[in-house]
Amino acid sequence: MNLKELYQEIILDHGKNPRNLKKTENFNKDAKGHNPLCGDKVHVFLKIDENKNISDISFEGSGCAISMASASIMTDLMKEKKENEVKELVDDFLKMIKDSPEMKSKIISDDEKTKLMSLSGVKQYPMRVKCATLAWHTLTSAMNNSQEEINTEKFD
Amino acid sequence: MNIDNIKKQFPIFNNKVHNNDLVYLDSANSSQKPQVVVDRIYDFYTKEFSNVGRSVHYLAVAATNLYENTRSMMQKYINAKDPNEIVFTKGATEAINLVANTFGQKFLEEGDEILLTELEHHSNYVPWHYLRKLKGIKINFAEINNDGEITIESIEKSITPKTKMIAITHLSNVTGAILPIKEITSLAHSKNIPILIDGCQGAPHLKLDMQDIDCDFYAISCHKMYGPTGLGVLYAKKKWLEALPPYQGGGGMIREVKKEGISFGDLPNKYEAGTMATAQVIAFGESIKFLNQIGIENIEKHESELTKYGEEVLRKNNSVKLVGNPKNKGSVLSFTLDGIHAHDIATILDEDGVAIRAGHHCCQILHDKLGLTATARASLGVYNTKEDLDKLNESINNCKKIFDR
Ligand SMILES: Cc1ncc(COP(=O)(O)O)c(C=O)c1O
The domain segmentation of chain A, as residue ranges, is: 3-146
Q: Could you say which residues of chain B have pLDDT below 50?
A: none
- Specify if B314 maps to a domain: yes
The residues near A156 (Cβ < 8 Å, ≥ 6 apart) are none
- Specify if B210 maps to a domain: yes
Query: Of B232, B265, B292, which closes a domain?
Result: B292
Together in a domain, B248 and B352: no
**Residue A101 has what pLDDT?**
86
Find out whether the beta carbon of B221 lies less than 6 Å from any atom of ligand 1: yes
Q: A38–B341: do the CB atoms touch at under 8 Å?
A: yes
Together in a domain, B284 and B155: yes
Amino acid at A19: R
Nearest to B166 by CA among B132, B189, B143, B134: B189
Amino acid at B164: K
Together in a domain, B246 and B200: yes
Question: What is the Å distance from ligand 1's center to B360 Cα?
Answer: 13
Task: Quick: pLDDT tens for A20-62.
Answer: 999 999 999 999 999 887 778 999 999 999 989 999 999 999 9
pLDDT bin (cut points 50, 70, 90) of residue A4 is: low
**Residue B147 has what pLDDT?**
97
Averaged pLDDT, A8-29 = 92
Instruction: Give, rounded to a whole angstrom, the gap between the first and last alpha carbons of chain A.
Output: 22
Q: Tell me how far apart the alpha carbons of residues B347 and B350 are, in angstroms, rounded to a whole number.
A: 5
Sign, CA dihedral B102-B280-B181-B190, equals: positive
* Chain B residue numbers touching A153 (CB-CB < 8 A): none
Q: What is the CA radius of gyration of chain A?
A: 14
Together in a domain, B276 and B343: no
Task: Please give the residue range of the domain that contains residue B364.
Answer: 3-27+295-402
pLDDT bin (cut points 50, 70, 90) of residue A143 is: very high
Together in a domain, B132 and B248: yes
Give the Å distances, CA to CA, from A153 to A37, A70, A83, A137, A146: 8, 18, 26, 12, 17
Which of B179, B200, B201, B380 for a ligand 1 pocket mutation test, highest count of atoms within 8 Å of Cβ? B200
* Chain B residue numbers touching A42 (CB-CB < 8 A): none
The count of residues in chain B is 405
Nearest to B274 by CA among B249, B310, B245: B249
Which of B90, B287, B362 for a ligand 1 pocket mutation test, highest count of atoms within 8 Å of Cβ? B362
User: In the predicted model, is pLDDT for residue A3 greater than 90?
Assistant: no
Helix, strand, coil shares of chain A as percentages rounded to 5?
A: 50, 20, 30
The count of residues in chain A is 156
Q: How far is A72 from chain B (nearest CA, A)?
A: 16
Find out whether the beta carbon of B121 lies less than 6 Å from any atom of ligand 1: yes
Together in a domain, B325 and B280: no
Together in a domain, B334 and B288: no
* Chain A residue numbers touching B349 (CB-CB < 8 A): none
Second-level CATH architecture of A3-146 = Alpha-Beta Complex (3.90)
Question: What is the Å distance from ligand 1's center to B339 Cα?
Answer: 29
Q: Tell me how far apart the alpha carbons of residues B358 and B342 are, in angstroms, rounded to a whole number.
A: 5
Closest partner CB to B341 (pick from A37, A63, A125): A63
Together in a domain, B262 and B350: no
Find out whether the beta carbon of B93 lies less than 6 Å from any atom of ligand 1: yes
Task: Quick: pLDDT tens for A126-140.
Answer: 888 999 999 999 999
Q: How far is B263 from chain A (nearest CA, A)?
A: 43
Together in a domain, B287 and B301: no
Query: Of B244, B274, B292, which closes a domain?
Result: B292
* Structural domains of chain B, count: 2
Nearest to B270 by CA among B58, B118, B89: B89
| Chain B contact probe: residue of A64, A68, A153 with most B CBs at under 10 A | A64
**Residue A154 has what pLDDT?**
64
Together in a domain, B108 and B208: yes
**Residue A156 has what pLDDT?**
45
Query: Of B258, B292, B326, which closes a domain?
Result: B292
**Residue B379 has what pLDDT?**
98
CB count, 10 Å around CB of A126? 9
Find out whether the beta carbon of B198 lies less than 6 Å from any atom of ligand 1: yes
- pTM equals 0.93
- Above 0.85 for ipTM, yes or no? no
Q: Tell me how far apart the alpha carbons of residues A3 and A147 are, in angstroms, rounded to a whole number.
A: 36
DSSP string, B61-98: HHHHHHHHHHHHHHHHHTT-S-GGGEEEESSHHHHHHH
Q: Tell me how far apart the alpha carbons of residues B50 and A80 are, in angstroms, rounded to a whole number.
A: 68
Amino acid at B71: R
Residues of B serving a catalytic function are 362
- Specify if B21 maps to a domain: yes
Together in a domain, B283 and B339: no
DSSP string, A82-94: BHHHHHHHHHHHH
Calculate what percentage of chain B has a pLDDT beyond 70.
100
Find out whether the beta carbon of B201 lies less than 6 Å from any atom of ligand 1: yes
CATH number of the domain within which B307 lies: 3.90.1150.10
Q: Are strands B16-17 and B163-169 parallel, antiparallel or unpaired?
A: unpaired
Together in a domain, B258 and B138: yes
